[in-house]
Amino acid sequence: MGSLDSSGGTLQPYAAMCGLAVLLFIFLTGGTEAFRICAFNAQRLTLAKVAREEVIDALVRILARCDIMVLQEVVDSSNTTISLLLRELKRLDSARHYSFLNSSLLGRSTYKEKYVFIYRSDKTQVLNSYQYDDSDDLFAREPFVAQFTLPSKILPSVVLVPLHTTPKDVEKELNALYDVFLDVSQRWQSKEVILLGDFNADCASLTKKRLNQLLLRTEAGFHWVIPDGEDTTVRASTNCTYDRIVLHGQGCQSLLQAAAAFDFPRSFQLTEEEALSISDHYPVEVELNREAHSVQPLCLTMLLLLALLPTHLGPVA
Ligand SMILES: *[C@@H]1O[C@H](CO)[C@@H](O)[C@H](O)[C@H]1NC(C)=O
Ligand SMILES: *[C@@H]1O[C@H](CO)[C@@H](O)[C@H](O)[C@H]1NC(C)=O
Ligand SMILES: *[C@@H]1O[C@H](CO)[C@@H](O)[C@H](O)[C@H]1NC(C)=O
């Protein structure tokens, strides 16, 4: 205790400040893992499908990676499929809390599916949600939009806009998605928006030329973080970037840490056939930090300065 005082009593306040800065540094940057948002076309997810042990095992391990997951192709008129998933998630890690938010069943024919957000309710909350009013019937499955809190001072909340396009109308739907962006950014006065899902934005469904002419490509401010060329399909015979994540807003972009498709067959060591029993798509994932990257070098510089200061500025004892 107080051993530093023998050097003249000037070092201690600086040492304390330095310690405080280190703690602050750890609090702001390290010590806290990134927040992961995912989208997964779970290919006709029915109760019968999740009742299969190998399917639910893989699904739960995929879900456990995500703080918010946007599931698509959930084919269930009740909540039982999702309830089963939540129960198994809870069994995997009882310290975590999960909740969900679902759309109604959407579709033009008798085949209908819903969007379901499954989220860590111990890390994030739903602030708002609404079903986009698709009065011109531009979408087969119009986005079910939701705003979530984030554990970040820079970005306290983010809007998620899911879309699963129908393969024969990809260009029309993706241009209409720009209108959904305008609608939600005006409604909730927020331009921090993530558009995500199985856009079918590649291969036979959308040529490279038309892809680059989309409003979401030509209008400024949209950042496609799953790059063209990244394979989001399970089959070895296909290589298409169907599933996408598009960020909009300063906050989102400054916090971006990583984005990629999750090759679950490789991670879980599944054969192609085994993997296809879960889905023909990979999930896509984006990780957001709590603080912008540029904070880190600044903190380090401040720490260095603090460490050097006493020898120059301390009054002579
Ligand atoms: C299903 O879950 C949603 C969201 O929690 C809830 O609003 C709805 O009432 C539930 N419906 C049934 C039939 O349980
Ligand atoms: C969620 O699903 C349940 C069961 O199908 C349904 O009763 C409820 O209306 C759905 N929620 C919304 C917001 O449509
Ligand atoms: C898919 O194609 C892209 C080029 O468009 C290539 O860079 C990538 O390695 C391919 N991926 C696989 C898994 O074949």
Beginning with the edge strand found earlier in the chain, give each strand of the sheet holding 68-74 in spatial order: 98-102, 114-120, 68-74, 35-45, 284-288, 256-261
Q: What is the pLDDT along the chain (317 residues), one digit of tens a residue?
A: 444 444 444 556 655 665 565 555 555 544 468 999 999 999 999 999 999 999 999 999 999 999 999 999 999 999 999 999 999 999 999 999 999 999 999 999 999 999 999 999 999 999 999 999 999 999 999 999 999 999 999 999 999 999 999 999 999 999 999 999 999 999 999 999 999 999 999 999 999 999 999 999 999 999 999 999 999 999 999 999 999 999 999 999 999 999 999 999 999 999 999 999 999 999 999 999 998 865 455 556 666 666 666 555 444 44
Taking the CA of 232 as reference, the closest ligand is: 3
DSSP 50: H
132 found inside a domain? yes
CA distance 73 to 45: 6
Four-point Cα dihedral 162, 163, 164, 167, nearest 10: -160
Residue 60 in any domain: the answer is: yes
**In angstroms, what CA-CA distances link 216 with 172, 181, 197, 245?**
12, 10, 14, 11
Do the domain assignments include residue 20?
Answer: no
Q: Give dist(CA 253, CA 155) in Å, integer.
A: 10
| Domain assignment present for 9 | no
Helix (H, G, I), strand (E, B), or coil: what is residue 123? coil
CATH of the domain at 121: 3.60.10.10
Gap between the Cα atoms of 203 and 188, Å rounded: 35
Residue 266 belongs to domain spanning: 32-295
Number of domains in the chain: 1
**Rounded to whole angstroms, how far apart are CA atoms 69 and 65?**
9
Q: Is 15 inside a domain boundary? A: no
Whether 57 is covered by a domain: the verdict is yes
| Positions marked active-site | 113, 164
Looking at the domain assignment, is residue 172 inside a domain?
yes
pTM of this prediction exceeds 0.95: no
The rounded distance, in Å, linking the Cα atoms of 240 and 203 is 6
Tell me how far the alpha carbon of residue 37 lies from the centroid of ligand 1, in angstroms.
23
Q: Kindly identify the ligand whose nearest atom is closest to the C-alpha of 77.
A: 2
The reply to whether 254 falls in a domain is yes
